[in-house]
Amino acid sequence: MKKIIFTSLVFLTFFEGFKAQSLEKMTWFNEPSQWEIKGKKLTMMVTPQSDYWRISHYGFTVDDAPFYYSTYGGEFETKVKITGDYKARFDQMGLMLRVDAQNYIKAGVEFVDGKFNLSTVVTHKTSDWSVITLEKAPPFVWIKAVRRLDALEVFYSFDDKEYIMMRNAYLQDNTPVQVGLMAACPDGNGFKAIFENFTVKHLPDQRRLEWLKKNQ
């Protein structure tokens, strides 16, 4: 009887974790006027004249683009497949991990001056921006982020098998973070963005694992 109860509790815990990652359970920040969820796919029309950026280089702060998220603590791995009908300069979409308005990281694809770039913006009070220019437009891209201790590693892939690092950046440790799907259209009139197969997988805390090794 105890074994049955334990098994049931394990199943329920797993099921609740799975439910927490379903698109229907997530929350909008700056909800766009048009969006739809079908199964594991979120489609949105990105809000025109919207972005995330703080101060540096341009001298302005904006915090008004669509972001669909859930909140997670601890260490984890998240990934998503993105497809965009990019049209105007700075059209962008991908993952965002956000502690608050002054601390966030967004990573994905950004269309700049006719070229497609793998783009990462790291913001801690002020924003910085790094890009990897692609030779041709990809039909889709997988973006993955791994949070470990006080760092976030960001990767890209064209097949969800081989992942290549595009950025390693600081992200506050032991702090809940909003994890989700971001798209922005700073200069244009909006574009269609499709997110598929979004997942967040819990990872055991590294410090606790080290403690367990020493205290078995």
pLDDT at 176: 97
What residues make up the domain containing 29?
Answer: 2-204
In a domain, 216, yes or no: no
Q: Which single residue is written with the structure tokens 């797993």?
A: 14
Phi/psi zone of residue 10: left (φ > 0), alpha (ψ -120 to 50 degrees), beta? alpha
In a domain, 25, yes or no: yes
| CA neighbor of 183 nearest in space, from 79, 58, 94 | 94
Which CA distances in Å does 214 have to 37, 75, 91, 149, 206?
Answer: 46, 21, 49, 19, 13
* pLDDT higher than 60, residue 90: yes
Any idea what DSSP says for residue 21? Answer: T
Any idea what DSSP says for residue 31? Answer: -
In a domain, 159, yes or no: yes
In a domain, 211, yes or no: no
Query: What proportion of the chain, given as a percentage, has pLDDT over 90?
Result: 88
In a domain, 48, yes or no: yes
Ordered alpha helix ranges (H), the chain: 2-20, 206-214
Q: Is 149 helix (H, G, I), strand (E, B) or coil?
A: coil
Contact 158, 138 (CB under 8 A): yes
* pLDDT-based confidence at residue 81 (cuts at 50, 70, 90): very high
| CA neighbor of 29 nearest in space, from 131, 97, 84, 126 | 97
pLDDT digits (tens, 9 = 90+) for 3-60: 443 344 334 444 444 333 689 999 999 999 999 999 999 999 999 999 999 999 999 9
- Write the CATH number for 87: 2.60.120.200
pTM greater than the 0.85 cutoff: yes
In a domain, 210, yes or no: no
* pLDDT higher than 60, residue 83: yes
* pLDDT higher than 70, residue 199: yes
Specify the number of domains making up the chain.
Answer: 1
In a domain, 212, yes or no: no
pLDDT digits (tens, 9 = 90+) for 146-169: 999 999 999 999 999 999 999 999
pLDDT at 8: 40
pLDDT digits (tens, 9 = 90+) for 93-138: 999 999 999 999 999 999 999 999 999 999 999 999 999 999 999 9
In a domain, 209, yes or no: no
